[in-house]
Chain A
Amino acid sequence: MPQLTMREAISQALWEEMEANPKIFLLGEEIGVWGGTYAVTRGFYDHFGAERVKDTPIAEGVIAGAAIGAAMGGLRPVAEMMTINFAFLAFDMIVNHAAKLHYMFNGQFKVPVIIRAAGGGGRQLGATHSQTPDVIFAHFPGLYVLAPATPYDAKGMLKAALRQDNPVLFIEHATLYQARGEVPAGDFTVPLGQSEVKRQGKDVTIVTYSKMLQISMEAANQLATEGIEAEVVDLRTLRPLDLEPVFASFKKTNRAVIVEEGWKSFGVGAEIAARTYEACFDYLDAPIKRVAQLEVPLPYNRELEQSAIPKAADVVRAVKEVL
């Protein structure tokens, strides 16, 4: 199977779906002539033209809002927020409008909008440009919040997202764009709202998503050299959240570590731990451990920043604590 980077996979998904469906168009800051600040849409402007690849002013509220309105009007817009940190400027549009219009008007409008945003820390961009606020968006019913970790999932999930009728926040981890993985040629989709076991194991379950899948797999490989077999479950979608594979895995291993890049307080790990206690309490052989970012705004200094973001060693340590 061909190896693609995450950037190529996302780009291919957009390109192929745009070729297939003239209702799909792109809008955002620097996505056209420039080719995207993360180069995901490089070449699109020349191929699809200014009508379908629309450069916008730097104005996130109206970028998201115009995308939502165009979706109400029957199109399938893909808006790029450049980074998820800027999506806070469009927060009202995303959570008060995209997420609620279908419900509040009792199904009269469909809002098949996709908002792409790069997220995550680790690039020395300082506190306001390094956040992982995925859970904040996942809090709202009515939205799909997708955060794929592999090029295969990214391509398949983005294609699936472009073929359904709900508003989607598609989170791309900025440090994963260069990550490589196998992606088959030809058309395929990956279902939304389904977690997946990415590594089989019997001793402990590691639940994670996005960039932290890489860290968790690295940890699992290290643990394997010591004879500890970790099962790794990738959430892939934060809303709607599919915990059945998590529970099934937990019932098998009886021990769990949850790994997220965001802050621990009120986070993804908090949610999964609480639901796991509700659903699987009798299967617990140890308290659930959570690995997460330290509760600080991320600093610019490389060493300081790295010390705040979870590493494979943190996951290994947490696993050993639950064994």
Chain B
Amino acid sequence: MEKSDYLRLYKQMVLIRRIEEKCAELYQQGKIGGFLHLYIGQEAVGVGAVAAMKQQDHIITAYRDHGIALAVGMEAGVVMAELLGKATGSSGGKGGSMHLADVSKHFWGGHAIVGAHLPLATGLALSFQYQHNDSVIICMMGDGATNIGYFHESLNLSKVWKLPIVWMVENNQYGMGTAVERASAVGEIRQKALGYDMANARVDGMDLLAMKEATAAALEHARSGKGPFLLEAMTYRFRGHSMGDPERYRKPDEIKKWQEDDPIGQYHDHLTKKKIATAKELDAMEAQVEEETAAAVRFAEESPNPAPEALWENIYA
């Protein structure tokens, strides 16, 4: 990687963090409605995964989708406008926090029913295979989705048909408020791939560069025609499941322990220790992100609401 690549990834993680901190504020002010699931703590997973994608690759995710949206390069203003339900939002204000997407960036959306986007990813991968192109789709999901029927149906079919998919489990230790070991018969989720004779690996999801490397290997496997790969990223969300989460299920010292592994802090240290960038350069980048975040909020707040006619638009193609 060039220095500019290292810096770009740092900036993406910081942008996700700042935008989401702002989201939490706007939610408290009642400007963002519905559910709001923050990605804070998991930035290295999404940014690392996207950084490993080649131009022809695709990605789809679940409802915790802001991180992927920003990592693929969706404009922060357009993301924020969607969260505020504005006409300039990526889904014209009809999707909200859980339904960001940008097909031009090969991002097939956040999907809000747990596990339901896995069959869709299977179909998208099938469309690549059918058209004999060289694309792979990364399907991000939470640990909770691995207990759902769709997970098993999709893994099985993807293996039978040798589809170009990377099943990426973001194991953030909790499905809503239920710890992985209380919901999943298998604590080490990557083992679920073994039931389908599927290649798999586990990676430190707090380590951006490890994420990027592991994803690149998984993509390569899937691209080579060997079929799908399941990658389990060990991570943690620093905030609750959603903004309505009273967080009675985990202790402050557990959160503190994980926060010591903060993916942004770790990567910051890596860049400075390895003398890839100076602290000053990174500070400057953070200041730039602050400005970008403020501009995104301004854009979103100043954007118009969807016109009344929009209610009736796009029911049918």
Chain A residues proximal to chain B, CB less than 8 Å = 25, 51, 54, 56-57, 59, 61-62, 64-75, 77, 92-93, 96-97, 101-112, 141-142, 164-166, 240
Contacts and interface: CB of A to CB of B under 8 A. Distances in A.
A170 B123 CA distance: 20
Given A66-B157, A70-B130, A105-B95, A165 B123 contact: no
A56 B157 contact: yes
Nearest to A107: B314
Nearest to A59: B153
A142 B316 contact: yes
Nearest to A65: B119
Given A72-B108, A105-B101, A107-B313, 20 more contacts: A56-B157, A57-B157, A57-B160, A61-B119, A65-B153, A69-B121, A70-B130, A75-B126, A92-B113, A97-B113, A105-B91, A106-B91, A106-B92, A107-B314, A107-B317, A108-B103, A109-B101, A110-B317, A112-B317, A240-B316
B317 A66 contact: no
A166 B119 contact: no
Given A96-B116, A107-B317, A61 B123 contact: no
Interface residues of B, number: 41
Contacts of B316: 102, 142, 166, 240
A277 B50 CA distance: 57
B26 interface: no
Contact of B153 (A62, A74, A75, A141): A62
29 contacts: A56-B157, A57-B156, A57-B160, A61-B119, A62-B150, A62-B153, A65-B118, A65-B120, A66-B123, A68-B120, A69-B123, A69-B126, A70-B126, A72-B120, A73-B124, A74-B131, A77-B123, A96-B116, A97-B111, A97-B113, A104-B94, A105-B95, A105-B99, A106-B90, A108-B101, A109-B103, A109-B108, A109-B109, A164-B317
Contacts of A59: 153, 156-157
A62 B317 contact: no
Nearest to B113: A96
A97 B99 CA distance: 12
Contacts of A77: 123
Given A93-B119, A106-B314, A110-B317, A65 B154 contact: yes
Contact of A93 (B91, B101, B116, B125): B116
Contacts of A96: 113, 116
Nearest to B119: A65
Given A104-B91, A106-B92, A72 B123 contact: yes
Contact of A73 (B95, B127, B149, B156): B127
B215 interface: no
A200 to B, nearest CB: 32
A32 to B, nearest CB: 13
Contacts of A101: 109
Contacts of B307: none
A73 B160 contact: no
A242 B149 CA distance: 38
A56 B108 CA distance: 24
A62 B156 CA distance: 10
Nearest to B82: A106
A62 B157 contact: yes
B185 interface: no
A66 B108 CA distance: 14
